[in-house]
Chains A and B, each alone.
Chain A
Amino acid sequence: MKNYLKYLPFLALGVISCEPELDNPVDKVGFYSNGEADFSNYVAIGNSITSGYADGALYISGQENSFPNIMAQQFARVQETNGFTQPLMADNAGGLLLAGTQITSNRRVLAFGPDGSPAPKVYTGMQPTTDIINGLSGPFNNMGVPGVKSFHLLAEGYGDITGVPAGTANPYFVRFASSPQTSILADAVAQNPTFFSLLAGDNDVLSYATSGGTGVDQVGNLDPRTYGSDDITDPNVFASVYSTVVDAMVGTGADGVLMSVPDVTSLPYFTTVPNSALVLDAETAASLTGFFQAVAGIFAQGAIQQGVDPAVAQGLAAQYAITFNAGPNRFLIDVPVSQTNPLGFRQMTAEELLVLTIDQGALAQGYGSVVLTPEVMQVLGILQTGGTPTAEQAQLVLGAVSGVDDKDVLDTLELQALATATNAYNTTIKSVAQANGLAFADTNLLLKQVASGGVAFDGGVMTSAFVTGGAFSLDGVHPTPRGYAAVANLVIDAINQTYGSTAPKVNIGAYGTVTLSNEVQ
């Protein structure tokens, strides 16, 4: 019997070697090719989109689904990598503390009301625990910092906690900056990356857009230190910063991919509340039309009384005799008072946009059209019976007009400013990519596809519809995990094309969308 025992180890070996083996396993080195690229030390530079920000906050599971993290996982299927580290938040509540005081909001979740209707609400199920006084020791492959504009990438002291209250430093960068004096670019270069991705420029237009264009288009102003937070960055400033960043990264010997700036006005933040949401029945439409005929009449009469040529007065007044129809009508917006528009309001054009944060309750009460008080109705009655209202009564009618405020709307000029800047940035990005032989991923084109028709996947079609479309999180600006997965696929495609690599893409259907919770207030 002893004689047989010596064969036992071979039997054990047989058990081990019995693991099933595929003829051509994908986990074998060489199944996928890295082509001319080297993904072993990938560093991602950018803003909130790069960080994995979603639902109005940064939180762990969002970061785990950041597009760079998804890409890094796919890179790891292609070649041996050093891993991909991220400055993970302390929890999934989102929200930052500064020495115990909350300075940014918790994430939003989709909550259902008692009537079963869903609405995004701020999650209150747990207290945020990420205090920026607790620094992390890096380095971190994901250098995405929410809120960063292009020129902030070069800003020294951007991670200095003492600059946070004044806005000269960024609380997210404070958490993981290697020193208070460093810049994002310096910390990225110091990692000696073999590969990098750069997505910058979104915030150079986005905050202007989300503020309803209340910021300043700084075209021509080459000193970003003088910019307000909601301003549009001058394209030459952008170009100069962008080239500096790319030169520094390429200088480390890294290959990389540059990503275009999406047209932010296609985001659900601007496409969810339609500008024609003034839905009227025939009776109300007729009475509104009558109201504005009265407005035009009162205006003409007043102008003539002030000595304006009657023909001119009638001509100016005509713009206020706005006709309303049964069904959807476009809202009115406030515009600056001018010689051609002395009352300072007009109806929106088809292209103009309302922001997601507009008070929709107020819209239902006449914000964006007319607030018809009983007193106003009384004056209208006087007019209808051929009477002449007093000057005071006439003023009451004009004052009832309630145009949408500038902060809630992107008007034609503001849209033009955004488009001009975005196009200029993208021209720069494309030419810098070409000049340096880097891959170019057209994020802007992807957003266009999502916003017009959507992107098909194995479980349906992903669109930009707010809450239900699947691409965008509950802040209306940042993608969901599924949206980020689509970005990762786009970037992987661009990399594969440029570098001859064959990194596999992910199935976006396996990535989630919005998170449900009724732990809200």
Chain B
Amino acid sequence: MKKLLLLTVFALATAVTYAGGYRVSLQGQRALAMGHTGVAVVNSAELGFFNPSGLVYLENKLNISVGGFGVFSDVVYQNEQTGDFERTNSPVGTPLYLYASYKITDWLTAGLSIYTPYGSSVDWEDDWAGSHLVNNIELAAIYVQPLVSVKLSPYFSVGGGPIYVTGNVNFNRNLNRTLSDIEGNRSEVTAEASGVSNWGWSASAMFTPTEDLRVGFNYRSEIILKAEGGDANFENIPNSPATPFADTEFSAELPMPAELTVGLSYQFQKKWLFAFDYNMTFWSVYESLDLDFVDPSIPDSKNARMYEDSSVYRFGLQYDATDMFTLRAGYYFDESPVQEGYFAPETPRNDSNNFTAGLSIDVNKHFAIDASFLYSRFKEVDASYDYYSENGQAVPFSGTYKTSAFIPGLGITYKL
């Protein structure tokens, strides 16, 4: 009986998990305004993320790009059978970036990049219908990367460098659909880990066959964040030997998948630049999220994710309107890595169509103000997560979801 209850309580389909992909593609104002293209665009220090090998082609000695975004993203969920209706009240995300490059010689440039390519912030109302999967979650990973960019010939350059990642995660969910303490408060767990770090690398190349055409390639390695000694705090646990959930530590692994980008840019009629990028994010590394609790009386939690590698198709256009103004626009299609039946409400993203625009204002020959704007359009989707179970029986959580994201951004480019 006791054992049965334990099992019941611990179908812990834990949620350090950010379905829909927790990739945050906001790594520069100029690139984002052009549909987040940039693997073959030589424009600013933003290359420090998109294609470090291109840094060596920047004309100025010192290039700095710094900026940030306001992410206004929310999700609405409903179940027509029960009438359950929920809207996230997620805090505004503020991913930031800083890129700097310094030309040492004509053929060698050094750089430093700081950026936040992975993250998630979703806040559902506590004890909502899907609270056994997630109440709220916050994930952030900061990448710090020293770079070199080397021009091997007028037509060809390579670049790259090691990446240091530090991340933190905080998520809260109810232990199951029903367990409550004597006061009727739902039993919940908060898992928190910060300062989780690891190393990775990126490598890139750029080929410039003619003055107007560039072709780029960039690969960023997979980095697995291994949280050891994270805090698992249990609250509202009944005072019973059948529910021995004392606060403990946990370990878990969360992958920041590898990403491959190839693309080209083409300059035409002097004032126009067209760019196309193809991204592949190797999400298939994210097969399962396993939480290993140090306390042996708390069963470990294994949760199938089974993500698939996913593609993004990006298109961008730039127009030098005047000496002062540069206008940009773009579009990209972002494929979800989540397979059918694995759609969980932690970051419920399905395929999206994304529209971008932006501009740069050259204030003087050193300073430019960059602004961009992204609107992500998600289709309404009927979806379910089928891998939560009670007493060995799968209990799907299904409903209709719609996500929206509206992301304005502002940055500065400095050249010397």
Contacts and interface: CB of A to CB of B under 8 A. Distances in A.
B2 interface: yes
Contacts of B177: 459, 509-510
A270 to B, nearest CB: 22
A518 B395 contact: no
B191 interface: no
A459 B405 CA distance: 34
Contact of B184 (A64, A468, A482): A64
B184 to A, nearest CB: 3
A9 to B, nearest CB: 14
Contacts of A337: none
Interface residues of A, number: 48
Interface residues of B, number: 46
A511 B184 CA distance: 11
Interface string A53-83: 0000000110010000000001001000000
B182 interface: yes
A361 interface: no
20 contacts: A20-B402, A27-B78, A27-B85, A60-B184, A61-B184, A77-B83, A110-B240, A116-B2, A116-B241, A125-B182, A505-B82, A507-B129, A510-B177, A511-B178, A512-B178, A515-B238, A516-B5, A516-B238, A516-B243, A517-B238
B340 interface: no
A106 to B, nearest CB: 11
Contact of A32 (B74, B83, B184): B83
Contacts of B395: 458-459, 509
A15 B5 contact: no
Given A118-B1, A510-B177, A511-B178, A125 B239 contact: yes
Nearest to A480: B178
Given A118-B2, A460-B391, A22 B239 contact: no
Contacts of B5: 516
Given A92-B182, A116-B241, A515-B182, 18 more contacts: A15-B72, A15-B406, A19-B74, A20-B75, A20-B87, A21-B402, A26-B78, A61-B183, A92-B184, A111-B240, A112-B2, A458-B395, A504-B82, A509-B177, A512-B178, A516-B242, A517-B240, A519-B239
Interface string B57-88: 00000000000000010111011111111010
Contacts of A481: 178
A335 interface: no
B404 A19 contact: yes
B240 A516 contact: yes
Contacts of A92: 182-184
A506 interface: yes
Nearest to A61: B184
A459 B393 contact: yes
B308 interface: no
B94 interface: no
Contacts of A203: none
B243 to A, nearest CB: 6
B76 A22 contact: yes
A521 interface: no
B43 interface: no
Interface of B: 1-2, 5, 72, 74-76, 78-85, 87, 129, 177-184, 238-243, 375, 378, 380, 390-391, 393, 395-396, 400, 402-406, 408
A22 B402 CA distance: 6
Contact of A26 (B83, B402, B403): B83
Given A14-B406, A517-B238, A519-B239, A74 B83 contact: yes
A345 to B, nearest CB: 36
Contacts of B241: 112, 116, 518
B80 A504 contact: yes
Contact of B178 (A15, A22, A458, A513): A513
Interface string A484-521: 00000000000000000000111101111101111100
Contacts of B81: 504-505, 507
Contacts of A61: 180, 183-184
B80 A20 contact: no
Nearest to A458: B395
A121 to B, nearest CB: 11
A50 to B, nearest CB: 19
A517 B237 CA distance: 10
10 shortest interchain CB distances as A-B pairs: A61-B184, A512-B178, A516-B240, A504-B83, A77-B83, A18-B406, A20-B404, A516-B238, A459-B390, A20-B402
A117 interface: yes
Contacts of A25: 76, 78, 85
A324 B177 CA distance: 48
A67 to B, nearest CB: 16
